[in-house]
Structure 1
Amino acid sequence: MRFSLARPLAVLSSLAAVLSPVAAEQLLKSTSLNTCQEDSGFTASLFNVVFYPSNNTASVNILAVSSVQGHVIFDVAISAYGYEFIRTTVNPCDANLAGLCPMTAGKIPLPFNLKVDPSAAKQIPGIAYTFPDLDAKVRVRINATDGEKAGQSLACVEADISNGKTVDLVGVKWATAIIAGLALASSAVVSGLGHSNAASHLAANAMSLFGYFQAQAMVGMSSVPLPPVVQSWTQDFQWSMGIIRVGFMQKIFTWYQRATGGTPSTLFDSLTTVSVQVEKRALLRRGLEAAAPALNMFKRAVAMMPRGAVEGANTLAKRGNIQTGSGSYIVYGIQRVAFRATIESTNLFMTGLTFFCIFVVLTVLGVAAFKGYCELAVKNKWMKSDTFLEFRNGWFTVLKGILFRLALIGFPQMTILCLWEFTQVDSAAEVVLAVFFFFGLLVTLGWAAFKVIRIARRSVAMHRNPAYILFSDPQALNKWGFLYVQFRASAYYFIVPFLGYLLIKGIFVACAQHNGTVQAIAFVLIEAAALIAASVLRPWMDKSTNSFNIAICVINFLNAIFLLIFSDVFNQPPLVTGVVGVVLWIANAIFALVLLIMLIVTTVIVFFRKNPDARYQFMADDRASFMKSQTGLTTTTELDALAATARGDKAGYKGGLDLDDDADSISSDSLRRRADPANHPLPPSTANSYRDPPRSPVDPSMPLFPADGRRPPQQPHQAQNPYNNGYGNNQMRSPSPYNGSASNLSSGYRSQNNASPAGFRSQNNASPWQRGAGYEH
C-alpha cells in the first residue's frame, strides 16, 4: 500500500532538501529500541539498524535481553506521522536468524546483516529518504505460535526511523546569530551618527527578534514530548541561550566539576554499549514505567549503604539521566537539548554561563577598542572631530548602558540555567555561581527598572510629561535608555511586566522539567496574557513597532497551543500530532524568514539613506523635541546655552537636580538627597504643562542682536528660576535676547504658537534641537 501522505509532503520535502546537507547515499536508520507494552519480554540496551535501499540490505547491531521462549512470529507495522502504511508478518525461522528460531531466554547479541526482500523495499515511498526529521517508526509485536500462550503478544518493541536529513543546521544557527548581532551593533553605530529615530527602531526590532529566538529555544527546552522536526527546529536557536559546543571547553568544564566535588555524567562515553532514547509522545511515561523496577532496586540498595554513600547516590540519581530496566537511557527537556548539542548534561550550566561571560567581555573590549580607534582617527584626521563626539566624551556612561542591555539579553538564559542548576547541584561551586549570577542579574535589572520609574515620575511631577527628563537628560538616556527607549514615554512602566514575563516563563521551564503538561498549560496562560497586554496596551513606540511585536506574541501563543497538543492532554490520534509538528515548523520558518528579511532591509536602508530618520514618523510622545542635536550645532552659542538649560544638561539643568544620580545605588544616601529642598518638584506656577499650547522662547519685540548691545530687561521671575543655578550663583552670561524663563523655554522651543506638534515637526526635521540618543541602544 502506497504512503498516502507522500503527495502533500512532496513539495515540502523538495524545499527542505535544499536546506539539508547532502548525504552520501540514501538510508534509513534507527539508534534506539523502545518497549511499547507493559511486561515486555524483549528489551534492548543497544540497537543500531541501518537500511540501504541501494542494495536492499540492513546492518543490524543489537544487544537484547529476552525472557521469551519458543517459536514466535513477528507482527511488523511501519508508520509515518502516525499513519500506518505497511503491516506484515515475519517468521524468524524463514529468515534463518540464529537465536530467534526458536527464541531463547537470556542476552542475545545479534550483530548481522539482513537481506531485505526487494518487493518489501519498494513499498517504502521515496519521500521517506528525503523529508527532513522524518517522524516514522517500526513497531514489532512478538506473538507466540505454540504452547498455552499461542496467539498472545509476549513482547512489543518499536524503533524510531531517521533518514539522516534534518533542519538542525549549523548554517541556520550562524545566519540567525550574525543577523541579530549585526542589527544590534548597527543600531549603536547609527545612534552615534546622530540618527536617533532610526537607531531606536532598529534596536527595538533587533531586541524583539532576539527575544523571539529565545522563545523558540524555550519551546525546545520544555519537557513536553516533541516531534523530531520540532526538536530540530528549536535546536537551531539554542545558541541564543549560550548552548554552543566547543570541544576543549567541555573538557575544562568536566575537570572543573570534578575539582569542585561534582560527578560528571558520561552519557556519550557509553553510546557504544547502550542506546539513548530521545522521548517522543508517550515514550517518557513508558520509560518511567519500565524504569520503575530498577529504581525500586536502587532505593533498596541505597538503604543498605553508609550515610556518605547514600548522599552521593541520591545526588547522582537526581541529576542523572533516566535509565530504563533494559539499561538504555531516556533524555527529555533540557537534557534532550544538551544531548542533541553533544554536551554532557552536567556541563550544560557551565557552557551557557561561560558564553554569556565571553559575550560580555568581548563587548566591553570592542567598545574600548572603538573608543581608542575614534580618538586615533580624530588625532590623525581620518574622520571629522565631531563624529561620535558624544560617545568619545561620555563613553564610560555609554558602556554602562551597553552592559545593562547585555544583562537584559542574557536574563532569560541565566534564569533558566541557574534555576535548573539549583535542581541538579552538579557541584557546590557551580551552585554558588548560579546564585551569584541569577540574583545579581535580577537585582541589577530590578534596580534599573526602579530608576526608570523614579526618573519618569519626577519628570511627570515637574513637567507633567515623562518624556521630558527620560529623553532630555543624556545621563539617564545613555545609562537607562535600554529599558524604555523601545516603548512610548507614557508606557515607561512596561519594562516591569516584561521582566516579570521572562522570570515566570523561565521558572516554569527550569523547575517543571518532570511535568510537561504543567509546562504546556503555563505556556498557554503566560503567552495569552502577553498577547492580550500587547494588543490592548500597545506600549511600543509607534504603530510599526507595535505590529512587529504583536505578531511575535501571536506566534508565541500559537506555539504554546501546539505545545499543549504535543503534551497529549487531548488524547488525539498520532497523525494529528505529526501534522501539527510539521505545521509548527513551517509556520515558524516562514515567520522567522520574514522577520530576518525585514531586519536586513531596514538595516541596509538606514546605512544608505542620507537622512534615515525621515523614513520613520516622529513618535507621538515628542521625544525628539527633548533631544539635543549632535549635528545641528557646531559652536557654542547663546542658543546652545539656552538649549542646555531647557534640556537639563550638566551645564545648567542638572546642577541642583540630580535626575540620573549616577552615584545613587541601593546602599547610597538617596533618602538624604530626596529630602533636599533642591530636589523637590517645582511649584505648579513654574511647572511646564504638557497640554499648554507651545510658545516661542524668542521675544518677537526684541531684535535677535540688539545694536546697542544692551541686556534685555530681566523678567520678574527670572531671578527666582532655579535653572539659573547651572550658570553658577545666578550670574548672567553675555547679553541674551531671549526670555530667561525655563518654564516658557521648555514648552516654547518645540513649536510656534498655535502650531500643531506634527506640523511643526514636519517642517523642522533638521532642527538643531534634536540629537542622537548616543548608543543608548
Structure 2
Amino acid sequence: MWLSSSLSYLVAIVALSPFVSAIRLLQSTSLTECMANSNFSASLFQVTFTPDNKTLAININGISSISGNVTAEVVVTAYGFQALRQKLSPCDLKLDGLCPMQTGPIAIDTTIPISDSVVKAIPSIAFNVPDLDGQVFVYINSTDTGETIACLEANLTNSQTVHQKAVEWVVAVIAGLGLVASAITSGLGHSNTAAHVAANALSLFGFFQAQAMIGDTAVHMPPIVAAWTQNFQWSMGIIQVDFLQKIATWYQRATGGTASTLLQSLDTTSVVVQKRAFDTGMDLYRRGMNYFDRRATGTSQTVTISGIERVGFKADIESTNIFLTGLIWFVVFVALVMIGVSAFKGICELLVKYNKMPSDKFQDFRNGWKIVMRGILFRLTLIGWAQMCVLCLWELTKRDSAAEVILAILMFLSMAIVLGWAAFKVITLARRSIAMHKNPAYILYSDPACLNKWGFLYVQYRATAYYFVIPVLGYLLLKGIFIAFGQKAQVAQAVAFLVIEASFLIAVSVIRPWMDKRTNIFNISIAACNFLNAIFLLVFSDVFNQPGMVTGVMGIVFFVYNAVFALVLLILVLIASIYAIVSKNPDMRYQPMRDDRGSFIKSNVELNTELDALANTARGGGEMELKSTAYHPTYEEESHSISSGNGASINGATINHRPHDINKAPPSPIDPAVPLFPSHAPPSYEQNGYGQNGYGHEIERSRSPAQIGDFNPASALAMQNYRQQHNASPWQRGAGYDH
C-alpha cells in the first residue's frame, strides 16, 4: 500500500504538477530590436496580459529617437503559428509620451483594458501548454510616411513550466536511494542484488547527466526542452546556494578575476534567452550575428545568453561562478560520502561493542572498510567524470581567473589519471587471470581487495567485457569536449552529438557488455533514448530550416517521451531499491550471472562444479570451514592480494612461477581428505557413475580427482600454470564463453 501510494505521488509530481496553475497569463520580461538601426531600445520591459480580467500591464523604460505620430502593428506567434495580428494607435490608447512620440527617455507604467475580441483571438494553447514557445513583434510605423522606423521583439511566457523543484528532489532522492540500497545489500552479503541495483542506479544517474548535457549545448532549443533539461542540472553540480555564491564571487575577485553582475542588474538590463527565430512572413531584419556573446557588464542594455550560461542564469548563478559552483559541490559531495562511510563504520563498531547488533553483521565491511572506502572514492570519481569534463574544459575557454583555470586543469588531469590508472589496473589483472586460468573472473572476483577497490569499473559488465569502461569514459569525454568548446557552434555540437550517440548505441547493441539480459535492456534503452534526443537536437539547431510549428511541436514531443521514459526508469530503480532493503533474500529476484562470478566471490561456499572447486582455491581453500569470511587475509592487506605483485597470493602464501619449473608437471593438488563433489551434489553425477565436466563431456565418477584429495592452494595454481602450457583448462566455461 505504501509503495503504491508513493508511486502515485511520484507520477503526479512528474506528470501533472507543471500543468496546475490558478492564474492564466502571458508575460514578457525582455525586449530586443529586430531590425538594424532601430530607433527605439528598452532597458526595462515588463508586459503582463491576464485574459481573465482583460488587462494589459505595461512597465517600460526606454530611449526613443522617434518624433511625431506613429502607429504600432503587433504580431503574436505561438509555436510558430501566428495567433494574433492587430494595429494599435497610441493616441487611441491614451498612452502618455507616445502620442505624439518624442525623442529622449520614455517611461511607461500603466494598465490598459483589452477588448473581448482580442482575448478570444488568442488560442487556449498559449495558456495551457507549459513553457510557451511564443514571441511578439511590434512594428512602429510613421503615420506620415507609413515607413517602419522601429522593430521590437519580445519572448512570451506563461505561468506554467515543467521545471519544478519537486521533480529535481524526487529524481535526486531516488538515484541516491539506489546507491545506498546497493551499499547496504552488499554489506549484508547479497552481492548479486547489490551489483544489479548499483548498475541500474549508476545508469539512471548517467541518464540524468545526459539530459543535463542536452541543456548545456548552445542549440536554440524550444523553451519546454530547456526547462525540462534544467531539472537535471543538479547532476552537473549546478545548484544555487546563496553563501556558496558569495564564496565563489569572493574567490574569483581575490584571484584577479572580474565577477559578472548580470543577476544584480536585471532592473536595467534586458536578458534574452537565445532561441530559434520563427518566420512570421514579414521582412524582418534580425540582428543575427550581432547578438551579444560576451559576459554581461553594468553598461550592457541587452544580453543574449545560451548554452551553459543560459543554464546558470536559470539557476540564479552568475556566469562567472558556474565552474566554481560545480567544483565545490563535487568536493562537498565526496566529503559528505566519506564522512558518512566513516560514521557508519563507527556506529557499527559501537553497536557491536554494546551488543546491540550481531558481531557478524557488516563484518566484511568493518574489517575491510579502508579498502571499501577507496573503492567508493573511485566510484565517486567515475560519477563526477562527465560533470568535470564539461565544466573544467569550459572554464579553459572563459578563464574567469588564473586560479580557477589552474583548478580546472588540475581537477581534469587528476581525474583522468586516476580513472585511466584504474582502467589500466583492471585490464592488467584481467589479462593475468586469462593467462593463468583462461578466465578473467578468477582474479577480478576472487580477491576481495581487487573487487572492493577496482570493482566499480567492471562489476556492472560481464566478466569478458571488463574493458568496456574505457569506451564509456571516452564517450563522456567526447561529449564534454564538444559541449565545452562548441558553445559558439550549435550545428557542430548537434552533429557531433548525433555521431557520438549513434556510435555508442551501435556498440552497446552489438557487444551487450552488461552483466545480464535485463541490465543490457535497461542500458540499451537509455542509449536509444539518448540517440533519439540527439536527432531532435539536430532538428532544433535549425540545420533543416524547418517551419517554426515543426520545432514547437517537436519540443513538446521531446518533453513527453523523455518524461515518460524517466518516470519508468525511476519506478524500476525505486522498486529494486526497496525490494533490496526490505527483502530477507533479495538474491532470489535475480538469476545468477552467466559469467559465474558468484563462484569466485568469497562468500560463496557451495561447491557443485569443477569451476566452483577452482573458485574455492582462489578464495583460499579453507573457506568451507569458516562461517564468516571477514578475516580473509587478502581483504585486510592489499599487498598480499592476488591483484598485487607478479604471483598469486592465497591466504598469505605467494607463489612465484620460476622459469625452470615451467615444463615440469606440478604435484597434484588433490588431498584425499575432502571430496571434490559434495555428498549433496545433483543426481546427474550419480547416474551410472558418471558426471559431466564444464564442456558437457561425461567423466567417470569413480575416477574423479575428488576421490584422491582436496586442493592445496600453491599446488593448484602451479597446476593451472602447467595446464596453460600443455592443454586447455577444464574450467574454461562461463565468464562469457557461452556468449
TM-score by length of 2: 0.83
Q: Is 1:486 the counterpart of 2:460 in the alignment?
A: yes
Task: Give CA-to-partner distance per residue, 1:470-529, whole Å, 9 cap, x none.
Answer: 111111111000000111111111111110001110011111111111111110011011
Give the distance between the partners of 1:389 and 1:695, measured in 2 at CA.
Answer: 41
Give the distance between the partners of 2:376 and 2:635, measured in 1 at CA.
Answer: 26
Cα RMSD of the aligned pairs, angstroms, is 3.9
Match of 1:260 among 250, 255, 267: 255
What is the one-letter code of the residue matched to 2:60? I
Task: Give CA-to-partner distance per residue, 1:687-727, whole Å, 9 cap, x none.
Answer: 99x966699999878999xxxxxxx7899xx7983759xxx
Match of 1:660 among 643, 651, 660: 643
Whether the 8 Å contact between 2:19 and 2:129 is mirrored in structure 1 is no
Q: Tell me the SS of whatever aligns to 1:122.
A: helix
Whether the 8 Å contact between 1:652 and 1:723 is mirrored in structure 2 is no
Match of 1:520 among 468, 486, 494: 494
List aligned pairs for 1:545-694, cutoff 5 A. Answer: 545-629=519-603, 644-645=619-620, 650=633, 659-661=642-644
Give the distance between the partners of 2:187 and 2:519, measured in 1 at CA.
Answer: 21
Aligned partner of 2:244 in structure 1 is: 249
Q: Tell me the SS of whatever aligns to 1:721.
A: helix
Whether the 8 Å contact between 2:323 and 2:392 is mirrored in structure 1 is yes
Aligned partner of 1:394 in structure 2 is: 368
Deviation at 1:79, TM superposition (A): 1.6
Cα 1:684–1:248 change in 2 (3 A) is farther
Q: Is 1:416 the counterpart of 2:390 in the alignment?
A: yes
Task: Give CA-to-partner distance per residue, 1:346-371, whole Å, 9 cap, x none.
Answer: 11111111110111011101111111
Aligned partner of 2:64 in structure 1 is: 66
Q: Is 1:122 the counterpart of 2:120 in the alignment?
A: yes
Give the distance between the partners of 1:494 and 1:410, measured in 2 at CA.
Answer: 18
Give the distance between the partners of 1:327 and 1:655, measured in 2 at CA.
Answer: 62
Moved more, 582-591 or 676-685: 676-685
Q: Tell me the SS of whatever aligns to 1:160.
A: strand
List aligned pairs for 1:680-759, cutoff 5 A. Answer: 721=715, 723=717
Task: Give CA-to-partner distance per residue, 1:404-455, whole Å, 9 cap, x none.
Answer: 0000000111111111111111111111211111111010000000000000
Unaligned runs of 5+ in 1: 1-13, 293-317, 665-674, 705-711, 725-740, 759-777
Give the distance between the partners of 1:242 and 1:270, measured in 2 at CA.
Answer: 25
Aligned partner of 1:295 in structure 2 is: none
Moved more, 66-75 or 228-237: 66-75
Deviation at 1:132, TM superposition (A): 1.5
What is the one-letter code of the residue matched to 1:436? L
Aligned partner of 1:731 in structure 2 is: none
Match of 2:90 among 78, 89, 92: 92
Aligned partner of 1:176 in structure 2 is: 171
Aligned partner of 2:512 in structure 1 is: 538
Q: Is 1:142 the counterpart of 2:147 in the alignment?
A: no
Match of 1:465 among 439, 452, 455: 439
Cα 1:679–1:179 change in 2 (3 A) is farther
Cα 1:755–1:694 change in 2 (3 A) is farther
Deviation at 1:25, TM superposition (A): 3.2
Deviation at 1:622, TM superposition (A): 1.1
Unaligned runs of 5+ in 2: 1-11, 279-284, 608-612, 624-631, 648-654, 670-692
Cα 1:599–1:676 change in 2 (3 A) is same
Q: Tell me the SS of whatever aligns to 1:146.
A: coil
Give the distance between the partners of 2:635 and 2:46, measured in 1 at CA.
Answer: 76
Give the distance between the partners of 1:105 and 1:680, measured in 2 at CA.
Answer: 100
What is the one-letter code of the residue matched to 1:619? M
Give the distance between the partners of 1:266 and 1:681, measured in 2 at CA.
Answer: 74
Give the distance between the partners of 2:373 and 2:635, measured in 1 at CA.
Answer: 24
Deviation at 1:681, TM superposition (A): 12
Task: Give CA-to-partner distance per residue, 1:339-395, whole Å, 9 cap, x none.
Answer: 000000111111111110111011101111111111112222222222211111111
Q: Tell me the SS of whatever aligns to 1:94.
A: helix
Task: Give CA-to-partner distance per residue, 1:291-332, whole Å, 9 cap, x none.
Answer: 58xxxxxxxxxxxxxxxxxxxxxxxxx8614999x8211111
Give the distance between the partners of 2:114 and 2:68, measured in 1 at CA.
Answer: 25
Moved more, 89-98 or 170-179: 89-98
Q: Is 1:38 the counterpart of 2:21 in the alignment?
A: no
Give the distance between the partners of 2:713 and 2:74, measured in 1 at CA.
Answer: 96
Give the distance between the partners of 2:717 and 2:15, measured in 1 at CA.
Answer: 68
Give the distance between the partners of 2:717 and 2:56, measured in 1 at CA.
Answer: 86
Q: Tell me the SS of whatever aligns to 2:350.
A: helix
What is the one-letter code of the residue matched to 1:55? N
Deviation at 1:53, TM superposition (A): 2.6
- The share of aligned pairs that are identical, in percent, is 51
Give the distance between the partners of 1:204 and 1:106, measured in 2 at CA.
Answer: 64
Cα 1:319–1:349 change in 2 (3 A) is farther
Deviation at 1:69, TM superposition (A): 3.6
Deviation at 1:462, TM superposition (A): 0.4
Match of 1:353 among 327, 352, 358: 327
Task: Give CA-to-partner distance per residue, 1:193-219, whole Å, 9 cap, x none.
Answer: 111111111110000000000000000
Cα 1:703–1:470 change in 2 (3 A) is closer
Deviation at 1:78, TM superposition (A): 1.5
Aligned partner of 1:79 in structure 2 is: 77
Cα 1:553–1:35 change in 2 (3 A) is same
Aligned partner of 1:108 in structure 2 is: 106
Cα 1:680–1:210 change in 2 (3 A) is farther
List aligned pairs for 1:304-319, cutoff 5 A. Answer: none
Match of 2:408 among 430, 434, 458: 434
Whether the 8 Å contact between 2:600 and 2:618 is mirrored in structure 1 is no
What is the one-letter code of the residue matched to 2:80? G
What is the one-letter code of the residue matched to 2:155? D
Query: How many residues are paired up?
Result: 671
Match of 1:502 among 473, 476, 481: 476
Whether the 8 Å contact between 1:71 and 1:146 is mirrored in structure 2 is yes
Give the distance between the partners of 1:617 and 1:159, measured in 2 at CA.
Answer: 58
Moved more, 351-360 or 61-70: 61-70
Aligned partner of 2:4 in structure 1 is: none
Cα 1:399–1:647 change in 2 (3 A) is farther
TM-score by length of 1: 0.79
Q: Tell me the SS of whatever aligns to 2:420.
A: helix
Aligned partner of 2:418 in structure 1 is: 444
Give the distance between the partners of 2:409 and 2:16, measured in 1 at CA.
Answer: 45
Task: Give CA-to-partner distance per residue, 1:56-88, whole Å, 9 cap, x none.
Answer: 222211122333343332221112111112222
Cα 1:215–1:652 change in 2 (3 A) is closer
What is the one-letter code of the residue matched to 2:90? P
Give the distance between the partners of 1:462 and 1:411, measured in 2 at CA.
Answer: 33
Aligned partner of 2:193 in structure 1 is: 198
Whether the 8 Å contact between 2:479 and 2:497 is mirrored in structure 1 is yes
Deviation at 1:123, TM superposition (A): 2.4
Aligned partner of 1:341 in structure 2 is: 315
Whether the 8 Å contact between 1:45 and 1:64 is mirrored in structure 2 is yes
Deviation at 1:530, TM superposition (A): 0.7
Q: Tell me the SS of whatever aligns to 2:383.
A: helix
List aligned pairs for 1:15-26, cutoff 5 A. Answer: 18-20=16-18, 25-26=23-24
Give the distance between the partners of 2:635 and 2:343, measured in 1 at CA.
Answer: 32
Give the distance between the partners of 1:588 and 1:133, measured in 2 at CA.
Answer: 16
Cα 1:680–1:578 change in 2 (3 A) is farther
Whether the 8 Å contact between 1:17 and 1:132 is mirrored in structure 2 is no
